[in-house]
Chain A
Amino acid sequence: MSSAYKRSLILLPITLGVLAFTHVLSGKFDITFSQLISSFTSFDPDDLNHVIIQEFRVPRTLTTILAGASLSLAGMLMQTLFQNPLAGPYILGINSGAAFTVALGTLTGLSFFQSDAGILGSALIGAFVFGLIILMFSFFLRNIVSLLLIGIMIGSFTSAITSILLSISTPENMKIFTLWGLGSLQKVESGQIVFIFISFVIGVLHLLTQLKGINALVLGENAASNLGINLRSLRISMISITALLAGMVTAFCGPISFVGLAIPNLSRIIFKTANHRKLTYANIILGAHFLLIADLITIWFEPIILIPINAITALIGAPFIMLIIIKKLK
């Protein structure tokens, strides 16, 4: 059992590397491996291929890896916090918060809020404000199920307001909002990757310091408390990390669905463990795999049809996960 884990420590990074290179090299313009290398070693701003690699391909690949890993980790935290395999990174309404501010921003009709930077800004504000609201509730709600219900209620309430905002919006603004809602991994510029990367690193480091509590939490809140865990500070940490990871990805890429729900379950099934040190690794690496594959499919279909990433994650993801569940659990 643990030897399977050790094998995966070597095998999965290799397959991730292969996938990442395939991802960088795939697209409308044919790019060779040597061009990829030379774009790093001797960048030529007049070489179109070099510009494509540096400005579009590499950022997109890195975004995909970080988004897949971040959302999977956020989903893992929420599933453990609520002891519910149906929880995901958006269960506390972070995506509805972002959607609300994006809709509000585009409605103003100001061109800034319709630009990529404006949408990013409003989504960031929405994700974090709603993360903070949930965090405030978690301070005084003792019961974790109440917190879950409050999160879902806030999400529904906000979505209702968003739909009212959209109904009084112009068709153009509605289109901007809809496009954001479909999710996209190609809008992130090379300079912005740093923000996603830093928040990912902060999130993971903070998560590692909470591993003892998170592991004990699988036995339930009472048992964890009896094992000496401070539930309140653990809960606040888990919600903060989720808000940071999911909020950052949602702001930059839109609400990418399914990954954060499926990968934590897949990780538990494949690695057969409740040890969150192993599960953290599993979610990072499997989440990155999954989103890279999903995005590769959208790239391959691009000459024929533009498929939104959200359609692919569910379209290929759902049957695949079902197959694994049926095979592993009989």
Chain B
Amino acid sequence: MIELKNIAIGYTSKLIEVNEMTLRPGEIKALIGANGKGKTTLLRTLTNQIPALKGTISIDDVPIALMERNNISRRIAFIGPGFKGVEGLCVFEYILLGRTPYLNQFGTISEDDKTICLEALRVAGIEALKDRITSQLSDGQLQLASIARAIAQNTPYIIMDEPTTFLDYRNREIIFNLLIKLSEDGKGILFSTHELEFVSKRDIPVIAITNEDQLIQFDQCPGIDELVNLCF
């Protein structure tokens, strides 16, 4: 379980106050909040890219600040926004990079690593893209490849920053369905989003950053009107 208790989050000055927030394996939660309210800052703090200003974040009862970087990468996979692909990097190589936390210094890839990545391709439904170059993929294909990379990372938790930005309606559905399926398979999923309609339609539990810079957890998705009044 990822657990936050009495924590202040921000770069130098406090952005958000968190009394309590949890994410368990098998749960899916949507992070909602207005632009500039600190969604990305919260996600970056959760993955130890920036330290919490006050209090501790723990993963399975171990404070994240005390964990080795490599150990965090074996617990949490993070998919940042706006990955545009890399010239020369094919989809399979990209997914293999998800195995990085398990490799030795020389980056030696074993047959097991390859099997895990092939399985990740299958779960994400992009076997056909295996040898395509990432810089030539569409935004939807790239996002699926990124999720496959996170699956290959084999972590109990996956955290995503706005996974459906830039995507058309059909691709948003594909991504949301995949995220829900991954949570049903036992992964803890947390993603920031502005897609209130989708979240409400699928009744995904919500973590909201309010206008008063507080963090509130809902076990069920509240109505869109209530969320808009609370956050925007």
Given the complex, which residues of A lie within 8 Å of B97, measured CB to CB? 215-216, 219, 227
Given the complex, which residues of A lie within 8 Å of B73, measured CB to CB? 226-228
CB–CB A219/B83 < 8 A? yes
Quick one: closest B residue to A223, CB to CB? B80
| Interface: A108 (CB within 8 A) | no
CB–CB B107/A222 < 8 A? no
CB–CB B89/A274 < 8 A? yes
Q: Which residue of the partner chain, among B71, B93, B101, B103, contacts A273 with CB atoms under 8 Å?
A: B93
Question: Can you show 19 pairs from A to B with CB atoms below 8 A apart?
Answer: A1-B131, A211-B106, A211-B107, A212-B100, A212-B104, A215-B100, A218-B86, A219-B94, A219-B97, A225-B69, A226-B49, A226-B77, A226-B78, A227-B73, A228-B73, A228-B74, A228-B101, A229-B100, A268-B87
Given the complex, which residues of B lie within 8 Å of A156, measured CB to CB? none
Given the complex, which residues of A lie within 8 Å of B77, measured CB to CB? 226
| Interface: B229 (CB within 8 A) | no
B231 CB to nearest A CB, Å: 26
Given the complex, which residues of A lie within 8 Å of B63, measured CB to CB? none
Quick one: closest A residue to B153, CB to CB? A227
A139 CB to nearest B CB, Å: 18
Number of interface residues of A (CB under 8 A): 27
Interface string of B105-149 (1 = CB under 8 A from A): 111000000000000000000000001010000000000000000
CB–CB A218/B80 < 8 A? no
What range describes how many residues of B lie at the interface? 20 to 34
| Interface: B210 (CB within 8 A) | no
Interface residues of A in 252-284 (CB under 8 A from B): 268-269, 272-277
Quick one: closest A residue to B135, CB to CB? A274
* Cα–Cα distance between A268 and B135 once the two chains are bound (Å): 14
* Cα–Cα distance between A222 and B90 once the two chains are bound (Å): 20
CB–CB A230/B69 < 8 A? yes
CB–CB B86/A274 < 8 A? yes
* Cα–Cα distance between A277 and B105 once the two chains are bound (Å): 12
Given the complex, which residues of B lie within 8 Å of A227, measured CB to CB? 73, 97-98, 100-101, 153
CB–CB B47/A272 < 8 A? no
CB–CB A216/B100 < 8 A? yes
From known contacts A227-B101, A228-B70, infer whether A212 and B47 are also in contact, taking CB-CB under 8 Å.
no
| Interface: A210 (CB within 8 A) | yes
Given the complex, which residues of A lie within 8 Å of B86, measured CB to CB? 218-219, 274
| Interface: B180 (CB within 8 A) | no
Given the complex, which residues of B lie within 8 Å of A212, measured CB to CB? 100, 103-107
Quick one: closest A residue to B73, CB to CB? A228
- In the A-B complex, list the 8 residue pairs whose CB atoms are closest, starting with the nearest: A228-B73, A228-B70, A212-B107, A274-B89, A211-B107, A227-B100, A228-B101, A226-B78
Interface string of A207-246 (1 = CB under 8 A from B): 0111110111011001101111110000000000000000
Quick one: closest A residue to B47, CB to CB? A226
CB–CB B87/A228 < 8 A? no
| Interface: B72 (CB within 8 A) | yes
CB–CB B49/A222 < 8 A? yes
* Cα–Cα distance between A231 and B14 once the two chains are bound (Å): 26
| Interface: B88 (CB within 8 A) | yes
Given the complex, which residues of B lie within 8 Å of A269, measured CB to CB? 88
CB–CB B107/A228 < 8 A? no
Quick one: closest B residue to A226, CB to CB? B78
B40 CB to nearest A CB, Å: 11
Given the complex, which residues of A lie within 8 Å of B101, measured CB to CB? 227-228
CB–CB A210/B78 < 8 A? no
Interface residues of A in 180-211 (CB under 8 A from B): 208-211
B65 CB to nearest A CB, Å: 15
A327 CB to nearest B CB, Å: 16
CB–CB B72/A209 < 8 A? no
Interface residues of A in 58-117 (CB under 8 A from B): none
Given the complex, which residues of B lie within 8 Å of A229, measured CB to CB? 69, 100
CB–CB A277/B100 < 8 A? no
CB–CB B88/A273 < 8 A? yes
CB–CB A277/B107 < 8 A? yes
Given the complex, which residues of A lie within 8 Å of B90, measured CB to CB? 1, 272-273
Given the complex, which residues of A lie within 8 Å of B153, measured CB to CB? 227
Quick one: closest A residue to B78, CB to CB? A226
CB–CB B74/A272 < 8 A? no
